């Protein structure tokens, strides 16, 4: 779901950094010091988990887990995603430094939306595990679709000649959305069974 | 049947608590919220420089007790004192240090140096003193060459020593050690034993490695179902077959009579 | 593969003060990725190549670093060539090779390679942890910095753990990367990692509290700059100036 080097237009790059900086500042302003270990340690686990990939035809597709990160970490997920994207560039060197801003937005906005969706609808679902898992699955799938939409927009903004590629990527993302929806459902279902306190409600994760 | 050796209390009876100890627990009680009580009326007093083992079968409450003693958990009843002053749960008291069972939990900084410096820096010490404490701690555990390494590049034994250095740097009076030799090969185990043997702090050590405890400690607290059922010289207590069996423990090899280890013979 | 494998070599780039180096890296990467004129692109690429040469990083290492972006380009460029639209250079039936696609492909390829070479030259010559510490002097908020440092540290632990989980799964017959048949097993690996990390984060938080953590991260490290660092920074600034001039004229 992330965009590689060289493709983006300068205004998009700068705009991406500005938007990412805004989201980061927002997350930093609300984060509590006690949460730092959780954001970092779980962020690391999410990062490693997203390295899991599936061979689909010629290419391999990675899970983005953006929806899940948002559901579990809430607003601070922006910070975990930023860290993950930075270290992805550092550790796998396919670029990603100039596109760090845009990529952060591509992952963070869906993550936050997924969190909002899950918290909002979760309240209506009551305590039923299956329903909450279904909502999580739907949120995960939606997260990928929203991310794909942002990718599409960003590519179109960078040049008309990228339109063809943009639509092809969107197609791939649609398939990914389905997979992530299923994974999100199964993962949340198991977590709610084994460690329900990991997924509290609310965007800011206020502990009672 | 006469008994020599430690006066091992019967159920319900409590040993008289000695006067001013370095680490004192009085009538300590604890249970997790909405859970049963897991530590019942634990009483003991550790003197300065004493090395005391804490043994008990799995589930006896050893780790919970250690977490109470360093203030991570708050007791439901009773009190704890360090050096005569009351220990409040949740407060940062560098006089009591805790070594985690897994060094990964305790080594979270970019380098070993940073990890060892973390405590002294948070204690507000000036930069020069922090540096000298770090150097001293690393020297004590023999980990000076590891200073600039990242924790994930260390071997199991090196991680353990580095974790030990992180708490030594705070110059604690009491060190609570949770399974310090777990997953270590014999060479590393010997190293840890050597380091701990040379320290002057009061130690309270849990371990399933009873031989290790026999070498390091002079006294043992035996915990069963959250109750202190024995408190006495380590060789005597761990030679008591009936006591060990009643509380789910096995006698350490070196104390089995036919091995001529010099331990007092067990009296039937 | 670690970018900082050769961070302990000696070269003018290695010796550059980390703070200046990281700042220069960001600026140059951003500018190089933003230019579109032929002159600026060529100058950016040339400068990146020069940087890598100066850094004395092993050629094989740099080539290996380039493999990943080149693989992505290999996938993207054919698509671009045949979907860009506009004037067609060659046509075979309904398949058209577009002129715009060719130009854009070249531009993207040059930019991508330039940025990755810059990345190698700058970040291959210092340890990741050092680069992170340099960010403190560059006014990155302490909380964010702490998160970055701890995340990096625990990524390695979980990579190891995931390796073991995957091996165990493979031994039970799950080939997690072959298609989607074993999605359940994959989810299981994810859940295991997440639950473990959740529990561990609690213990790490406790460990930090027990060593006096109260919210701030006081640090000791002080970088010292010297004359060579200032010279290097002036050169970097001049380079940026050149790129901008070539782009905007």
pLDDT tens column, C142-154: 999 999 999 999 9
Q: Would you call B96 helix, strand, or coil by DSSP?
A: strand
pLDDT band at B258 (very low <50, low <70, confident <90, very high): low
CA–CA distance, C38 with C46 (Å, rounded to integer): 12
Report yes or no: A33 and A46 within 8 Å, Cβ to Cβ.
no
Pairing of the two strands B51-55 and B219-224:
parallel
Q: Is the model's pLDDT at A201 over the cut of 80?
A: no
Token pair 């331990």 is found at B263
Top mean pLDDT of A33-37, A105-109, B41-45 is at A105-109
Question: Does residue A118 have a pLDDT over 90?
Answer: yes
On whether any CB of chain C is under 8 Å from the CB of B44, the answer is no
Which are the contacts of A31, defined by CB distance < 8 A and separation ≥ 6? A39, A75, A76, A79, C143
Pick from B6, B10, B80: nearest CA to B39: B80
What single-letter DSSP state applies at residue B239?
T
Among A99-113, A158-172, C50-64, C106-120, name the one with the lowest average pLDDT: A158-172
Q: Is residue A206's pLDDT more than 60? A: no
Q: Do A5 and C69 touch (CB under 8 A)?
A: yes
* Average of per-residue pLDDT values in chain B: 87
What was the pLDDT predicted at B212? 93
| Gap between the Cα atoms of B134 and B114, Å rounded | 9
Q: pLDDT grade, residue A56 (50/70/90)? A: low
- Are C153 and B108 a contacting pair at CB < 8 A? yes
pLDDT, residue A36, reads: 95
Average of pLDDT values for A32-43?
Answer: 94
Closest partner residue to A28 (CB to CB) among C32, C144, C187 is C144
What is the ipTM, given to two decimal places? 0.92
Query: What residue in B sits closest to C216 (Cα-Cα)?
Result: B122
Neighbours of chain B (3+ CB pairs under 8 A): C
Using the beta-carbon criterion (under 8 Å), do C212 and B111 form an inter-chain contact?
Answer: no
Return the CATH number of the domain spanning residue range B20-95+176-183+206-268: 3.40.50.300
> Which region among B161-165, C22-26, C87-91 has the lowest average model confidence (pLDDT)?
C87-91
Kindly state the average pLDDT of the residues C167-188. Answer: 78
Question: pLDDT at position B19, please?
Answer: 47
- Ranking B126-130, C32-36, C222-226 by mean pLDDT, the lowest is C222-226
Inter-chain touch A10–C178, beta carbons under 8 Å = no
Residue located via tokens 């939990």: B105
Dump the DSSP string for A16-37: HHHHHHHHHHHHHHH--GGGHH
CB neighbourhood size of A123 (10 A): 10
The CA distance from B94 to B53, in Å, is 21
Whether the per-residue pLDDT at B15 is higher than 70: the answer is no
Q: How far is CA C84 from the centre of its chain?
A: 28
Between the CA atoms of C27, C32, C34 and C36, what dihedral angle is there, to the nearest 10 degrees? 150
CB contact under 8 A, A65 and C190: yes
Phi, psi angles (nearest 5°) of residue B169: -65, -20
Which chains does A contact via 3+ CB–CB distances below 8 A? C
Q: How would residue B221 be classed by pLDDT, with cut points 50, 70 and 90? A: very high
> What's the DSSP call for residue A63?
-
A97 vs B13: which has the higher pLDDT? A97
Q: Domains of chain A (ranges plus CATH)?
A: 10-198 (1.10.1760.20)
Average pLDDT over residues A107-127: 89
Query: pLDDT of B25-70, one tens digit each?
Result: 999 999 988 888 899 999 999 999 999 999 998 888 899 999 999 9
Average pLDDT, whole number, for chain A? 89
pLDDT of the residue at B248 = 82
Query: Between residues B196 and B265, which one has the greater pLDDT?
Result: B196
Region of C92 on the Ramachandran plot (φ > 0 left; ψ -120 to 50 alpha; else beta): beta
Chains B and C form CB pairs within 8 A to the count of: 69
- B64–chain C Cβ distance below 8 A for any pair: no
Nearest chain C residue to A69, by CA: C194
**DSSP of chain C:** --TTTTTTS-SHHHHS-HHHHHHHHHHHHHHHHH--SHHHHHHHHHHHHHHHHHHT--HHHHHHHHHHHHHHHHHHHHHHHHHS-SSEEEEETTEEEEHHHHHHHHHHHHHHHHHHHHHHHHHTTS-HHHHHHHHHHTT--HHHHHHHHHHHHHHHHHHHHHHHHHHHHHHTT--TTBTTTTHHHHHHHHHHHHHHHHHHHHHHHHHHHHTT--S-----------HHHHHHHHHHHHHHHHHHHHHH-
Mean pLDDT, residues C50-66 taken together: 93
Three-state SS for B53?
strand
pLDDT, tens digit, 9 for 90 and up, residues A61-88: 788 999 999 999 999 999 999 999 999 9
% of chain A surpassing 70 pLDDT: 94
CB contact under 8 A, C162 and A179: no
Going through chain A in order, the beta strands assigned E by DSSP cover: 53-56, 59-62
pTM of the model: 0.90
In degrees and rounded to multiples of 5, residue C175 shows phi and psi of -100, 95
Would you state the pLDDT for residue A62? 85
Strand partners, B177: B99, B205
C-beta separation of C190 from A51 below 8 A: no
Q: How many CA atoms lie within 13 A of B36 on its CB side?
A: 6
pLDDT confidence of residue A171: 86
* pLDDT score at B86: 87
């Amino acid at each position: 779901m992330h965009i590689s080097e060289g493709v983006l237009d300068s205004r998009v790059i700068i705009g991406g950094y500005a938007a990412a900086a805004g989201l980061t500042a927002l997350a930093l302003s609300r984060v509590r010091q006690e949460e730092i270990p959780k954001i970092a340690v779980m962020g690391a686990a999410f990062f490693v988990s997203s390295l899991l990939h599936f061979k689909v035809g010629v290419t391999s597709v990675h899970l983005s887990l953006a929806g899940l990160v948002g559901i579990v970490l809430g607003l601070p997920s922006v910070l975990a995603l930023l860290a993950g994207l930075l270290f992805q560039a550092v550790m796998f060197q396919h670029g990603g430094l100039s596109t760090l801003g845009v990529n952060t937005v591509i992952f963070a906005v869906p993550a936050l939306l997924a969190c909002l969706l899950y918290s909002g609808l979760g309240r209506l679902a009551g305590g039923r595990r299956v329903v909450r898992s279904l909502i999580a699955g739907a949120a995960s799938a939606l997260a990928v679709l929203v991310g794909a939409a942002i990718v599409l927009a960003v590519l179109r903004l960078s040049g008309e000649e990228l339109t063809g590629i943009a639509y092809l990527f969107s197609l791939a993302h649609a398939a990914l959305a389905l997979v992530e929806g299923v994974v999100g459902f199964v993962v949340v279902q198991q977590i709610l069974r084994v460690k329900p306190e990991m997924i509290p409600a609310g965007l800011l994760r206020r502990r009672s | 049947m006469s008994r020599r050796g430690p006066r091992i209390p019967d159920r319900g009876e409590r040993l008289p608590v000695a006067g001013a100890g370095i680490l004192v627990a009085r009538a300590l009680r604890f249970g997790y919220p909405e859970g049963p009580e897991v530590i019942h009326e634990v009483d003991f007093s550790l003197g300065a420089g004493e090395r005391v083992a804490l043994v008990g079968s799995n589930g006896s409450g050893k780790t919970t007790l250690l977490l109470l003693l360093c203030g991570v958990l708050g007791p439901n009843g009773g009190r704890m004192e360090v050096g005569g002053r009351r220990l409040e749960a949740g407060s940062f008291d560098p006089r009591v240090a805790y070594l985690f069972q897994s060094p990964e939990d305790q080594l979270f900084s970019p380098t070993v140096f940073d990890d060892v410096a973390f405590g002294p820096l948070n204690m507000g010490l000036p930069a020069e003193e922090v540096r000298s404490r770090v150097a001293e701690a690393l020297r004590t555990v023999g980990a000076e060459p590891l200073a600039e390494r990242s924790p994930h590049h260390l071997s199991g034994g090196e991680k353990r020593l580095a974790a030990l250095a992180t708490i030594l740097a705070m110059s604690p009076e009491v060190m609570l050690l949770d399974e310090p030799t777990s997953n270590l090969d014999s060479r590393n185990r010997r190293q840890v034993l050597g380091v701990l043997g040379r320290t002057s702090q009061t130690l309270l050590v849990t371990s399933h490695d009873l031989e290790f405890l026999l070498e390091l400690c002079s006294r043992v607290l035996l915990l069963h179902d959250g109750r202190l059922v024995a408190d006495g010289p380590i060789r005597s207590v761990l030679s008591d077959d009936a006591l060990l069996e009643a509380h789910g423990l096995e006698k350490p090899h070196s104390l089995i009579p036919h091995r001529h280890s010099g331990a007092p013979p067990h009296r039937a | 593969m670690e970018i900082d494998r050769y961070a302990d070599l000696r070269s003018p780039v290695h010796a550059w003060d980390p703070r200046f180096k990281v700042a220069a890296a960001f600026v140059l990467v951003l500018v190089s990725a933003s230019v579109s004129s032929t002159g600026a692109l060529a100058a950016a690429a040339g400068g990146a190549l020069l940087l890598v040469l100066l850094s004395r990083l092993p050629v094989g290492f740099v080539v290996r670093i380039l493999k990943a972006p080149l693989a992505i380009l290999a996938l993207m460029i054919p698509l671009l060539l045949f979907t860009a639209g506009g004037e067609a250079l060659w046509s075979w039936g309904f398949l058209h090779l577009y002129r715009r696609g060719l130009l854009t492909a070249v531009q993207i390829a040059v930019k991508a390679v330039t940025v990755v070479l810059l990345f190698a030259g700058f970040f291959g010559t210092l340890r990741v942890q050092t680069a992170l510490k340099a960010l403190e002097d560059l006014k990155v908020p302490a909380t964010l910095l702490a998160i970055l440092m701890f995340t990096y540290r625990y990524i390695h632990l979980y990579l190891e753990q995931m390796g073991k989980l995957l091996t165990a799964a493979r031994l039970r017959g799950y080939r997690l990367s072959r298609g989607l048949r074993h999605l359940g097993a994959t989810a299981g690996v994810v859940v295991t990692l997440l639950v473990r990390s959740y529990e561990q984060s609690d213990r790490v938080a406790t460990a930090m509290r027990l060593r006096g953590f109260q919210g701030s991260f006081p640090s000791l490290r002080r970088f010292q700059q010297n004359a060579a660092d200032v010279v290097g920074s002036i050169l970097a600034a001049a380079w940026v100036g050149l790129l901008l001039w070539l782009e905007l004229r």
